[in-house]
Amino acid sequence: MMFFRLGFQNAWRNLSRSLLAVVSMAVAAAFFTYVISLGKGYVNQAGQPLRNMLGGEIVVYAEKTSAEAPKEKDRWLYHQGETDPFTDLPFLFPDLAQTGYLHIEQTTMGFSPGQLNTFTNTKGVDGVGAFHRLPAEIIQEIDPETSKTPIPEHLLIKNEDGTFRGPEITYRSGIQGRDWQTNSDYSLETFVSSGRWFEEADQNQWVGIVSANQTLPSFASVPLPGEIITIEIPSFVQKNGEWIADYTQAHRFEIEIIGNLNIVSRTVDYIKGIDGWVTEPVYAYLNEVYLPLPIWNQIWTQVAAGVSYTPTEVLLRVKDLTYLQDIVLDLQHAFPQYSFVDIPHHLERVHSQLSLEPIIPAGARRALEDRIDPFRQSVITADLRKPITLLVLLNAGLLVAANILILVSERKKEIAVLKAMGGRESELIRMILAEALLVSGVGASMGFFFIRIQAVLNQLTNPLGIMVILGLFFRDFFFVLGVTLLSAMMFGWIPAKKYASLPVMEVLRNE
């Protein structure tokens, strides 16, 4: 016990000199802490409003577009043209049809119910929901009497009685089916500007909700709550395993609009004249119609002649976003045949395309337009977490060894005296190791707290109890501390053994 105390006293006395070892251990522990997935989370509100618009925290596409270190059998192809109409790509990334993207040749056909279940078995995934979307067109008959802008004569259609009626205007849209659970867990109610959000009783009603901000042709107008809209859906025929939309055999359906949404895509800060810095919202413009899932299914059954729907996009639900990036990485490694994107990144890409934001406050336009990026395909980076951690720990261990070597060599006399007084070799080793452990422990704790604080702040915003957060905190702390102390022990033992085994006379003679 006395030798332990001596070791601690020595370390404490020389703490300023041990600074390099402390700092290197701190860096090693910080990195290690980061690697065991403590720095890759998000706060609870990250990725909004896209999370609620799509109904999940991780998007999974059946089409493999996430590039990774290629395997020999993989062949990648360039695709240009219409994007998969059953996914969110046509309305989130409309330019993609022109610019094209790379995808793997062997694309899976979609997700079977069995495959959906396998996702839920992944640690951290709390639920799974298929994305139900169909391309659609909204039909509006324009009344020349009520139209706000005069309709050019060549567009007017002559009735049998000689009077004129307005043309039938068509604009592109999509219908998205959402089940009741999604509608309540991922509600867009806060964005309802008029009318209301779905209620449980709406599940079998032909009702829909649209955005109050839409990109429309000249004479069309946004359908208001209470209005009945006509939507036209092409027929779908399966050929060689692919769905082909027959636009010449379209089906018409009538939907009652019950609410309008005014979704804020993000807020921007900019300098506005004498007001100085102002913060203004940027609204999301989208032509999609949200429908109750049973109604969407009825429409699908009709347009696809009864063939069941195989989703090509799936949304995974994650309650605690503290580990979101790592969950995505783990999923990507477990299911390399699909593409996984976490919604905060997905939203970042949507923002960088300005695809939902045709109207931006004039003062902020320049700043946002400067940030427009070409579509960046997601990549699965080589997982080098383990080799990097090993390298960091090895280095930190070497530094501890060097530090102990020097500290001990400076105190050869002291060791000789201790030995002369009857100190055993094992006791001296214990004394030296105690010093190494203190230096490493201080460094490791510093590094751990430095990185972990961000994760704790993220966790506090996520729906986790304080006891759970504390439990996770101490579990990880003891893990990081344990590994770093083990490394210090291993590397500190070499110099400790070297000096503790020296005969007293030899030490004193050389001094």
Partner 1 sequence: MNKSIHHLLIRNLIRWRWRLVLIAFLVAISTSISILYGGMLQKFQAESIENIEPLNLPYDILVILSDQQAPRTQFDNLGTYRYESQGGVYRGRPSEIPITIQKAEEALALELQTPFGLWEVWGIDTENSSLQSEELLGEGAWPEVQGELWVPASYKEDFELQIGNTVPLFFVDEFGVKKEFQLVICGVGSSEYDLQKPQITMESAHWISGSKQPNRQILFSESFKYMSNWSLFNSKMEQMYPGATYIYKAMPQLQWQNLMKAVQNPGQWVLLLVFVFMAVSVLTISLMTFLERKQELAVLKTLGISDFQLSFVLFLELFTAGILGFFIGIRIVSFVSLVIPSYFADSSASISLLYLKNGLITLLFFIVAVIYPLLLAKVASVNQLLYAREIPLVVARYDHIVSPPTDWIREMQQERLHMLKMTVIDGKSLSVILKNPGEKVKTGEVVAFMSSIAGFYYQEWLAPCDGVIQSFETANGKYVIKPEDPLTPLYPYTGLIQTRK
Query: Which residue from 255, 315, 265 is spatially nearest to 133, judged by alpha carbons?
Result: 315
Q: Does 395 bind partner 1 (CB under 8 A)?
A: yes
User: Smallest gap, in angstroms, from Cβ of residue 406 to partner 1?
Assistant: 4
User: Smallest gap, in angstroms, from Cβ of residue 395 to partner 1?
Assistant: 4
Extract the tokens encoding 259. Answer: 């609410």
Q: Does 486 bind partner 1 (CB under 8 A)?
A: no
User: Smallest gap, in angstroms, from Cβ of residue 412 to partner 1?
Assistant: 11
User: Smallest gap, in angstroms, from Cβ of residue 261 to partner 1?
Assistant: 22
Question: Where in 163-192 is the site for partner 1 (CB under 8 A)?
Answer: 167-172
Nearer of residues 4 and 493 to partner 1, judged by Cβ: 493
Query: Which residue from 255, 245, 250, 199 is spatially nearest to 223, judged by alpha carbons?
Result: 255
Q: Does 386 bind partner 1 (CB under 8 A)?
A: no
Q: Taking the chain, what is the end-to-end CA distance rounded to the nearest angstrom?
A: 28
Q: Does 388 bind partner 1 (CB under 8 A)?
A: yes
- Per the listing, tokens 């900019």 go with 270
User: DSSP labels for 281-325?
Assistant: EEEPP--EEEEEHHHHHHHHHHHTTTPPP--SEEEEE-S-GGGHH
Q: Which stretch binds partner 1 (CB under 8 A): 3-11, 72-80, 322-330, 454-462?
A: 72-80
Nearer of residues 123 and 239 to partner 1, judged by Cβ: 239
Q: Are 318 and 36 contacting, i.e. CB atoms less than 8 angstroms apart?
A: no
Q: Does 502 bind partner 1 (CB under 8 A)?
A: no
Q: Which stretch binds partner 1 (CB under 8 A): 121-129, 328-336, 374-382, 464-472?
A: 374-382
Nearer of residues 82 and 143 to partner 1, judged by Cβ: 82
Q: Does 305 bind partner 1 (CB under 8 A)?
A: no
Length of the chain: 511
CA distance 473 to 314: 32
Nearer of residues 105 and 269 to partner 1, judged by Cβ: 105
Extract the tokens encoding 19. Answer: 């600074």
Nearer of residues 278 and 406 to partner 1, judged by Cβ: 406
470-485 exposure pattern, b = at least 16 Cβ within 10 A, e = fewer: eebbeebbeebbebbb
Q: Are 54 and 103 contacting, i.e. CB atoms less than 8 angstroms apart?
A: no
Nearer of residues 165 and 319 to partner 1, judged by Cβ: 165
Q: Does 70 bind partner 1 (CB under 8 A)?
A: yes
144 phi and psi angles, rounded to 5 deg: -60, -25
Q: Among 99, 112, 337, 501, which residue sits at the site for partner 1 (rule: CB under 8 A)?
A: 99
Q: Among 1, 81, 159, 386, which residue sits at the site for partner 1 (rule: CB under 8 A)?
A: 81
CA distance 467 to 406: 43
Q: Among 116, 155, 446, 456, which residue sits at the site for partner 1 (rule: CB under 8 A)?
A: 155
Q: Are 45 and 458 contacting, i.e. CB atoms less than 8 angstroms apart?
A: no
Q: Which stretch binds partner 1 (CB under 8 A): 78-86, 177-185, 196-204, 303-311?
A: 78-86
Q: How far is CA 313 from CA 47, 59, 86, 163, 309, in A?
A: 18, 7, 7, 49, 12
Question: Where in 247-286 is the site for partner 1 (CB under 8 A)?
Answer: 247-249
Question: Where in 119-148 is the site for partner 1 (CB under 8 A)?
Answer: 137, 140
Q: Does 158 bind partner 1 (CB under 8 A)?
A: no
Extract the tokens encoding 75. Answer: 């062949």
CA distance 369 to 82: 25
Nearer of residues 45 and 99 to partner 1, judged by Cβ: 99
229: which strand partners? Answer: 255
Q: Among 387, 463, 482, 503, which residue sits at the site for partner 1 (rule: CB under 8 A)?
A: 387
Q: Does 406 bind partner 1 (CB under 8 A)?
A: yes
- Per the listing, tokens 């004569």 go with 153
Q: Does 78 bind partner 1 (CB under 8 A)?
A: yes
User: Smallest gap, in angstroms, from Cβ of residue 10 to partner 1?
Assistant: 16
Q: Which stretch binds partner 1 (CB under 8 A): 55-63, 246-254, 289-297, 304-312?
A: 246-254
Query: Which residue from 221, 261, 262 is spatially nearest to 138, judged by alpha carbons?
Result: 221
157: which strand partners? Answer: 165
Nearer of residues 387 and 463 to partner 1, judged by Cβ: 387
User: Smallest gap, in angstroms, from Cβ of residue 139 to partner 1?
Assistant: 9
- Per the listing, tokens 């909700």 go with 209
Question: Where in 201-240 is the site for partner 1 (CB under 8 A)?
Answer: 216-220, 234, 239-240
Q: Are 192 and 259 contacting, i.e. CB atoms less than 8 angstroms apart?
A: yes
Query: Which residue from 281, 285, 233 is spatially nearest to 254, judged by alpha carbons?
Result: 233
The CB-based long-range contact list for 197-200 (8 Å cut-off, 24+ gap) reads 197/259, 198/258, 198/290, 198/292
**How many Cα neighbours within 13 Å face the side chain of 79?**
19
User: Smallest gap, in angstroms, from Cβ of residue 279 to partner 1?
Assistant: 29
Q: Residues 27-66 vs partner 1: string with x where CB under 8 A? A: ----------------------------------------
Residues that bind partner 1 (CB under 8 A): 17, 20-21, 24, 67-70, 74-78, 80-82, 95, 98-102, 137, 140, 155, 167-172, 216-220, 234, 239-240, 244-249, 377, 379-384, 387-388, 391-392, 394-395, 398-399, 402-403, 405-406, 409-410
